[in-house]
Amino acid sequence: MSSLKTIAIKRLKERGVEIKDIAEIVYKLQYKYFDKLTIEDCIDSVSNVIAKREVINAVLTAIAIDEAVEKNLLDEPINSIIKNDDSLYGIDEILPLSIVNIYGSIAFTNFGYLDKVKYGIIGKLDKLGKEKKQCHTFLDDIVCAIASSAASRLAHKK
Ligand code: MG
């Protein structure tokens, strides 16, 4: 495993996101289209997505911004705008397009869908952010993008 991929997985874990959490979302998106899809297939697909350089860069950038905001390191007003996850901010949904764009239209439509339904870990991150316990303004969208890309990958391989 490349060392950058190892770092990305470690940083996700430090922020409360395990590969298996993302794989469970992928399973939920894809199980109905397969005769027998396993959680291992989903873990494998997520792991492949996280191996890509663009994805690693997006993960590390998102976490760096969220952590800087938690420490109030950015200038105002942008620190508060990101911390409050202002619905008109929107830049947190643009960064993950660097991931989704690699995996095509199935990834893109699932990305929009996950942002609405907030399955599993996505909902947990959103809740922690709303309670102001942590800032996950960027990370929740990155998780949506990795899950939807891993789902698209499975769909195309079928
Ligand atoms: Mg967000």
Ligand 1 mean position, distance from CA 158 (Å): 31
The domain total for the chain is 1
Structural domain boundaries, residue 153: 3-157
Ligand 1 mean position, distance from CA 21 (Å): 17
Alpha-carbon gap, residue 33 to 138, rounded angstroms: 30
**CA nearest 101: which of 43, 49, 24, 154?**
49
3-state secondary structure of 82: helix
Ligand 1 mean position, distance from CA 53 (Å): 21
Q: What is the crossing angle of helices 53-70 and 97-117, to 10°?
A: 60
* pLDDT single digits (tens) 65-112: 999 999 999 999 999 999 999 889 999 999 999 999 999 999 999 999
The yes-or-no verdict on residue 1 having pLDDT over 90 is no
**CA nearest 24: which of 136, 146, 141, 134?**
146
The Cα-based distances of 3 to 9, 14, 30, 120 in angstroms read 10, 16, 30, 28
For residue 144, the domain's CATH number is 1.10.3760.10
Ligand 1 mean position, distance from CA 34 (Å): 30
The yes-or-no verdict on residue 21 having pLDDT over 90 is yes
